[in-house]
Amino acid sequence: MESTQTESVHSPVLSPTGFSSQEAAERLAKYGPNDPAPTRRGAFAIELLSLFLNPLVIILLVASAVSAVLGQKIDAGIIVVLVLLGIIINFVQTFRSQRAIERVRQHVSLTATVLRDGEWQELRRQLIVPGDVVRLSAGDLVPADAQLLESRDLYVQQAALTGESMPAEKEARYGSAKHTPDAPSLVFLGTSVVSGTGIARVLTTGQQTSFGAIATRLVERPEETEFERGLRRFGMLIMRAVFFLVLFIIAVRMALHKDAFESFIFAVALAVGLTPEFLPMITSVTLARGAVRMARKQVIVKHLPAIQNFGSIDVLCSDKTGTLTVGVMTLSAALDAFGQGSDRPLALAYLNSKFETGIRSPLDTAILSQARDDADDYRKCDEIPFDFNRRRLSIVVEHNDSSNRESLLITKGAPEGILELCESYEADARRILTFDRTAKDQTRGIYEKLCSQGLRVLAVAYRRIESKGAFSAADEHALTLAGFLAFADPPNPDTRASIAALKRDGVQVKILTGDNELVARTLCKQVGLDDPVIVLGEELETMSEPALGHVAEQASVFARCFSGAKAPDPSCSETPWTRRRLLGGRDQRCSFAARSRCGNLGIECRGCGPRSGGNYLASTRVGHPPSRNP
């Protein structure tokens, strides 16, 4: 068994050499390789053997054995062939899907920059151990869960854990931190660096990471689906009926003083006749045909019984970003200081984003998508880069035809910080008016209202300044507020109609998102989910099992849901329908990959929008009939 990983960071002091190769080898032997997905030895053999545990299969194999012993070898052979055909078809479909995934994994070799033997080395991710010091830069995949020791303008994409499309800001903070994706000083395996640089010490590796916990659950055998449960119950019913009927026939014939051997032969023939020997093969062939038909529509079926569940869902839990929405931030509005439409803040923000160096954020991309020809009339003089304390970025530009050598400092960033630096605001016809307390309060109310609507807001301000050699953050004062830019991730064009169609078919839609409740509520209004009941991830953490069962039924939105939450207690004594809702609802705090282990059907879409991805988790009610339009 692997040792528990408890590596921690209490000091910003870096070892000058990192681990030696010998120390790293000892830790690798102690903690195991840094592989989040555990390898299941003999997994396919176990999968194959499990297919023989179907009660109908057991009855048919027993009947074929008895027939062979009694000399009816042809009948026995036919039964065995039918059973094997059904099992082979089912197994081959699963085997091919898993092999395709393994081939993809083998073609990807991930590396990381590690401080080892006194120098930075490029090592395979599997060789990283707890305590290693790793270097992160734009484009890197984070190799393990780690705490930042140094950082500079570091942004990390955590969509794999949170579903949030916007990169998260990260900075070095020393001391303990809650091991969740929203911790600013922690970076996690499965995430990627969008911009900036950082140095971090590895805390946990492999299956001990947040991503590893998800991967560990993925290799577990899926929960039995309603379709499989129905077949098993039907098989047990046939088995019991055949067993007692055979005993009854033998007892009656013996009471009538019939020949014992003939009575046994008659009972076996009756057992074989009562058993639907074609059912396993017909089931497998029918499901396989469904998988082939879905493959023609670019849908891969990894688990054949999921096809029937697809038409029987009554609860559909959907990710928000990139599934219900397009997954791309777009400019929603450009407003002046008092909320009136204005092109001025966009014109200035375009210059700021155009001349900004480094990897641009999704908000910069949205700004630059609004092409402007007048930006070519300016040239860049200097840049005051973004940092976490200021939460803004400034660009100094100069007009190509400028004769008085006057420059324009353009600042965009968090409204609350920029507003404090503004002494005036721009009104109609570019009139500059001085801010008084009343005007500033009104302006503050504008961006607070935009934020309450679930929009991301940037403030844009500027200042005319004398040209000089270099500029610094000290020059960001006495600014004039040009206005605000509001951004949103709009819903897909067909989301509203799809949700309405699901509602008509008796399917409830529940939204799972890492965004806050304001963003989630705004989206619900846009897609036709009126007056949603919203529950936060931290509220779920403190709920008892009975309370959670009730909330899972009543709530339609689970916001601020992250991975790493504990799984539901299978021993919960709710009704089967409530319990199935619970299993599909409690793990809303986990990533889709982990959640799909708890519901009856996991659906992952590719190529369905600009983000080319979408995740769904479906639950079926016990005894619930298929939807009218699956």
Taking the alpha carbons of 346, 352, 357, 361 in that order, is the dihedral positive or negative?
negative
Q: Per DSSP, what are the bridge partners of residue 487?
A: 331, 456
State how far the Cα of 597 lies from the Cα of 220, in Å rounded to an integer: 8
Element holding 411 (H helix, E strand): strand 406-413
Residue owning tokens 């689970």: 558
Catalytic residue among 140, 153, 319, 336: 319
**For residues 165 and 123, is the Cβ–Cβ distance under 8 A?**
no
Rg (the chain; Cα; Å): 31
CA distances 30 to 27, 100, 526, Å, are 5, 32, 52
State how far the Cα of 426 lies from the Cα of 432, in Å rounded to an integer: 5
Phi/psi of residue 131, nearest 5 degrees: 100, -15
Provide DSSP, 245-277. HHHHHHHHHHHTT--HHHHHHHHHHHHHHHS-T
Phi/psi of residue 387, nearest 5 degrees: -145, 165
State how far the Cα of 287 lies from the Cα of 298, in Å rounded to an integer: 16
612-617 contacts, C-beta under 8 A, 24 or more apart: 612/322, 613/322, 613/323, 613/327, 614/318, 614/319, 614/322, 614/323, 615/163, 615/318, 615/319, 615/323, 616/316, 616/317, 616/318, 616/319, 616/323, 616/592, 617/316, 617/317, 617/318, 617/512, 617/584, 617/592
Structure tokens at 457: 């807001």
Active site residue 319: yes
Largest CA distance in the chain: 123
The residues near 380 (Cβ < 8 Å, ≥ 6 apart) are 355, 395, 396, 397
Provide DSSP, 99-151. HHHHHHHHT---EEEEEETTEEEEEEGGG--TT-EEEEETTPBP-SEEEEEEE
Structure tokens at 40: 């299941």
Residue owning tokens 């008016």: 433
State how far the Cα of 192 lies from the Cα of 387, in Å rounded to an integer: 19
Structure tokens at 284: 């497998």
Active site residues: 319
